[in-house]
Structure 1
Amino acid sequence: MTTLSIVIVSWNTKDILDDCLESVYRETDGIEFEVIVVDNDSQDGSAEMVKEKYPGVILIVNEKNVGFAAANNIGFNYCNGKYILLLNSDTVVLDGALQKTVSYADQHPDLGVLSCKILNDDHTLQPNCSMYPSLLNSVLFITGLYKAFPRSKFFGRAQMTWWDYDDERQVQVLKGCFMLVRKEALDATGPMDERFFMYSEEVDWCFRFSKAGWKLGYFPDASIIHLGGVSAAKLGGSRALVKDKSTRRYMKKHWSKPAYAVGLTFMFTFYLSRLPGALLLALLSGGSSKYKKRLENHWTGLRGLATKQDI
C-alpha cells in the first residue's frame, strides 16, 4: 500500500506549481508516495507543464474551475495511500517535511488530521491554527482586540496569537495549505463539502473530523514555505464575495438561527466601520493600488451582504 498520496489543486499557478512539485520530489525520501495534480481549467499552461516535466504525476484536468473543495474531492478518488496530504500549489517543501509528518502521524494513531510549521517566503512564522468561528471570536476580530492584546489567551484566542508554534499540541482548525489526513479518518468523516467554493471549507471539515471522534494536531519539527493567496488574488474584487459567502454558509450550517442573524450583523458592522478609513486612505495615498484594492474589497463585500445570495 502506498504510504502517502499528495493532492495538489492548481488554478493558473504554473511557475509556483513547478517549484512545489520540484520540492516534493527533491525533499521526499524513505516513503512510498504518489502525486495527484487536479487542474481547475488553468489557462496558463499549468497542465502542459506537468505533463512535460512530471510524467509520473497523476494529472486530472477539469473542464471548469470547480473550486478548492470539489477539486480535492476529485483527487481523493485517485488516492491509494494510508495518508492523503492536501498541499497547496504555492508551497515549497523543506528538509524532509513529508516523511517527518508521516512518521509523527504513525506514532499518534488518534490523530485524524495533522499539520506542520508553515513559514512565509522570508522564513518568518505563518500562523496556521485557530479556533472554530463563534460570536465571541467575531467580536474580538471586529473590535481588533486580538491585535491590541496578541499575547492574551483570551483576546488572542481565535487566531491563537499568544502561541509561538514551537510545541506540539491538539488544535481545532488547521489551514488547508498543508493537511495530512489519515485515510481511515476521511472514510469516517466524508469528503469536503463542495458547497464551499473557496474559504471555510477546511474549517467545516475540521469541525466534522472532530465530531466524528478524530483529533487534529500540530507538529513543529517539520516545515514548509507557503506563499499564500496566489490563486485567491486572481479573483480580484470578487474575493470578498466568495469569502463572505463561505463564511455565511458555515454560520448557517453550524450555528443556530439567532446566532446566524447576529453573525450577519457583525459582518455588516465590520465593513461599515472600515469603509470610511479605507476611503480616506485611498484618497490620501494618491490612488495607491494597495489602498484602492482594500477599498474595493470592503465596498464589494458590503454590497454582497446587502444582495440576496443563494448560500
Structure 2
Amino acid sequence: MTNIHIPPHLDISVIIVNWNTRQLLAQAIRSVQQTFGKLSVEIIVVDNGSTDGSQDMLRSHFPLVKVVQNTENVGFARANNQGARLARGEFLLLLNSDAELYPNAMQSMLEVMRAHPKAGIVGANLRNPGGSFQASHTPFPTLTQEFLILSGLGRALYGAHYPSRGPEEDIGPQRVDYIEGACMLIRREPYLEVGGMDEGYFMYAEEVDLCYTFVQHGWEVWYQPAARVLHHGGGSSRNRRAAREGDLYQSRVRFFRKWRGSMQAEALKALIYLLTFVKWGIHNALRILSHGRRGRTVISPSALHQKLKT
C-alpha cells in the first residue's frame, strides 16, 4: 500500500477502533490492504488509549494509516464518530479490530449499496475462526425477545442462533432490521446527518441504535451474505466477561428507554435483575460444589445494580 496514489475522491473510508488488540489490529489492516482491489480506500484507526504497543506497531508497519490517538478509552461509538468526521470516502466501513475481510467483501457490500439507493447500511456475513456460521443480523429488540434470550428459552426453543436466523436463511441480499457491528458499510452523509452513533452507549448495542435511527429516517438496512468476514469476537473484552455482561445490559436498557419508553425499560431492568440473580446463584453453587471446576463467572447483583441504577 505504500506506493498507492490516494485520489481526491474516495470510495470507502475504513474506520477501525482499537483498544489493546495490537496483533488483531494488524491482521485487520492487512485484510483491507489485500482485498480492496480497484476501490479507492483510506484506513483510519482510532486508538482508545492502548497500552500494548499498538501505536508503535502502526508507525512501524502501517505509516500511511491515519491514526487518531485518544488518551483514554472513550468508547466504541465516540471513537467511530471521531473517525467519521475525518473520513473522505463516500462510504464508511466500520470494521472491528478483531475482524478480517475475505476477498471481495467490500465490493459485494458496495454492490448492494449501488443497487438499492435507499440502502443506508449494509452488513456482512460473519464467520467464526474455522469458517463456521456466526449470527450476522437480528430483529429489533422486544421485551419478549429479551426474555427468551435472558432465560435461555430462545435457544432451547428456536435453535442455537436465536434471535438471529441460521445459515439456511442466507439466500441472497435481503432487507433486515439490524446487522451486527463487526463490519458495517454505511453511507457517510446520512451517518453524519443523524449525528453518527449515539455516544451515550459506551459499548454494545450501538449498531442496533444506529440501524434503528437510520430506519426512522427512511433508510433501509441490508445484509449481504456474499460478503464474508472473519470475526474472532470479543477482541478487546475477551478477559472481562462479567464486566462485559454489565455493559451489555446497560446498553440494552438504554435502547429500550430511548425507543420503547420508560415503562418497557423498567420492565427490562426487572427481567435482567431477576434472571441474572438466578444465574449468579446457580453458577456460584456449581463452583463451590465442584471446587471451581464448573460454573462460570456471572456479574454479581451489586455490580449489576451499579450499572443499571440510573
* TM > 0.5 fold call: yes
Aligned-pair CA distance for 1:237: 3.5
Which of 266, 269, 278 is the aligned partner of 1:264? 269
For 1:4 and 1:259, locate their aligned partners in 2 and report how far apart those are by CA, in whole Å.
Answer: 38
The aligned counterpart of 1:232 is: 237
For 1:24 and 1:147, locate their aligned partners in 2 and report how far apart those are by CA, in whole Å.
Answer: 34
For 2:167 and 2:277, locate their aligned partners in 1 and report how far apart those are by CA, in whole Å.
Answer: 28
> SS of 1:222's equivalent?
strand
Letter in 2 for 1:119: R
Structure 1: gaps spanning 5 or more residues:
none
For 2:166 and 2:154, locate their aligned partners in 1 and report how far apart those are by CA, in whole Å.
Answer: 8
Let me know the Cα RMSD of the aligned residues: 2.1
Aligned-pair CA distance for 1:147: 1.2
Letter in 1 for 2:261: S
Letter in 2 for 1:75: G
After superposition, residues 272-311 of structure 1 pair within 5 angstroms as 272-288=277-293, 291=295, 294-295=296-297, 297-299=298-300, 302-307=301-306, 311=310
> SS of 1:232's equivalent?
coil
Aligned-pair CA distance for 1:151: 5.6
Change (3 A) 1:310 1:139: closer
Residue 169 of structure 2 corresponds to residue 169 of structure 1: no
The aligned counterpart of 1:160 is: 165
The answer (yes or no) to whether the contact 2:84–2:188 under 8 Å persists in 1 is no
Aligned-pair CA distance for 1:104: 2.5
Between stretches 202-211 and 187-196, larger displacement belongs to: 187-196
Change (3 A) 1:167 1:283: farther
For 1:131 and 1:281, locate their aligned partners in 2 and report how far apart those are by CA, in whole Å.
Answer: 34
Change (3 A) 1:22 1:76: same
For 1:95 and 1:232, locate their aligned partners in 2 and report how far apart those are by CA, in whole Å.
Answer: 27
Change (3 A) 1:141 1:206: same
The answer (yes or no) to whether the contact 1:173–1:216 under 8 Å persists in 2 is yes
Give identity over the alignment, percent: 30
Which of 67, 72, 89 is the aligned partner of 1:59? 67
Residue 223 of structure 2 corresponds to residue 218 of structure 1: yes
The answer (yes or no) to whether the contact 1:36–1:75 under 8 Å persists in 2 is yes
For 2:194 and 2:275, locate their aligned partners in 1 and report how far apart those are by CA, in whole Å.
Answer: 33
The aligned counterpart of 1:3 is: 11
Q: How many residues align?
A: 302
The aligned counterpart of 2:47 is: 39
Residue 103 of structure 2 corresponds to residue 89 of structure 1: no
* Superposed CA offset, 1:49-104 (max 9, x none): 11111111111111111010000010011101110000001111112211222123
Aligned-pair CA distance for 1:163: 5.2
Letter in 2 for 1:117: N
The answer (yes or no) to whether the contact 1:170–1:217 under 8 Å persists in 2 is yes
The answer (yes or no) to whether the contact 2:194–2:213 under 8 Å persists in 1 is yes
> SS of 2:299's equivalent?
helix
Between stretches 42-51 and 231-240, larger displacement belongs to: 231-240
Structure 2: gaps spanning 5 or more residues:
1-8
The answer (yes or no) to whether the contact 1:150–1:161 under 8 Å persists in 2 is no
After superposition, residues 113-192 of structure 1 pair within 5 angstroms as 113-150=121-158, 156=162, 158-161=163-166, 164-192=169-197
TM-score (norm. length: structure 2)? 0.91
The answer (yes or no) to whether the contact 2:93–2:183 under 8 Å persists in 1 is yes
